[in-house]
Structure formats: structure tokens, C-alpha cells
Amino acid sequence: MRTLTHPFVRFASVAILAFLGTATNAMAQNPRIQTTQLDALAAKASQTVDVNIDEKLLEITKKWLKGEDPDEVKVRDIVNGLKGIYVKSFEFETENQYSDADLESIRSQLRNPAWNRIVNVNSKKEGSVEVYLMQVGTQITGLAVLATEPKEITVINIVGPVDLDKLSELEGNFGIPGLDIERSKIKRKN
């Protein structure tokens, strides 16, 4: 019986470990946030929004947006290169229908070192908004927004190269709610 000291076995073991380490690292840096663990909240919600537009659907959407209408051109330009747009939102009739434990699965994914929280707004009365970016070098490869209100939860995940200057143009499209971001206010603050 051969032992692990045989050169071929050692080489194969190292190759397998390297492959698994690369696969784990790639999975750890996946900009796609898993939200299926929130599905149990649908039974408590008065309204649920679940948008799953993967890369194939985005390609089909771009084919539909071939016109010269300025709005179509803007949306086509924004979604060009994106790999997915995912939105999950729950609205409840009363408060306290979800807990921090329900959101922990989302936050634990965003604690990955590849994600950087760039916005954190908290209000005891109105809720909170957390915005995260995933970057590879200077390229933004993903964006995640976790917005909570006493009667509502929204998770937005955009996968692919995100142009922050154009992002507000997606509000109201693809199930992305209006985030009331006024570009003029942002420019004045900077």
C-alpha cells in the first residue's frame, strides 16, 4: 500500500488542495448574495417582491432596448456588462414581524473581507440603510444594499461592474425601489 510520501500522491494532494483553496477563495469573493433564507418571511408579509434577473435575462433585456428612446439608451448603457440584478423585499402590516436574527444570514455574507461597507445610516424610528461594495482592484464587481424599516426589509444585489454615477438611473427599473438619492445633493456634499 502506498503512503502519502510517494511523490505523485504528494503532488496530487497539493494540486487538489490548491484547487480547493482557489475554489473556496472564488466562492468567498462571489458578489451574488444568497437571500433564500429570507423566504420564510413571505408568510408574514402583506407584500413581497422577488426579482431575479440573471445575465441571460439581462442580455435579452438589452436586445429589447434597441430603440433610440433616451430612457432606453440610459438603461441599456447601465445594464451593459452586469451579471445580475436581484431584489428581495417584504412589507408587513405591523412592526416586529422580523428580527435581527432573520437578517444575520445576509450580514454574515457581507462581513466577508471582499465587501466594504460604504454607507451605514441608522434611525430608531425610520430604520437603517447599509450599502456595500465589492471591489477587485479599482473595479467595482458588486453592490449590496440592505434597507430596513419597522415594517419593511429590502435587499438589493447588483452583480457585475457597477458605475456609481449611473446607479441612481436604475431606481424604478428592474424592481429596484426609489432610494431618494438626489445626485445634486451628493455632488454638493463632495
Question: What tens-digit pLDDT sequence spans the chain (190 residues)?
Answer: 444 443 333 333 333 433 333 333 434 478 999 999 999 999 999 999 999 999 999 888 877 777 778 877 777 777 888 999 999 999 999 999 999 999 999 999 999 999 999 999 999 888 999 999 999 888 899 999 999 999 999 999 999 998 777 766 666 655 555 555 443 333 333 3
In a domain, 175, yes or no: yes
In a domain, 3, yes or no: no
Count: domains in the chain: 1
In a domain, 13, yes or no: no
In a domain, 58, yes or no: yes
**Integer Cα distance of 152 and 47 in angstroms:** 9
In a domain, 10, yes or no: no
**Integer Cα distance of 64 and 67 in angstroms:** 8
Residue spans of beta strands (DSSP E) within 43-151: 47-54, 84-91, 115-123, 127-136, 139-149
**Integer Cα distance of 105 and 99 in angstroms:** 12
Q: What is the pLDDT of residue 74?
A: 78
Q: Which domain holds residue 154?
A: 34-189
Count Cβ atoms within 10 A of the Cβ of residue 127 and give its class: 0-12 exposed, 13-18 middle, 19 or more buried.
Answer: middle
Q: What is the pLDDT of residue 105?
A: 95
In a domain, 16, yes or no: no
In a domain, 180, yes or no: yes
In a domain, 170, yes or no: yes
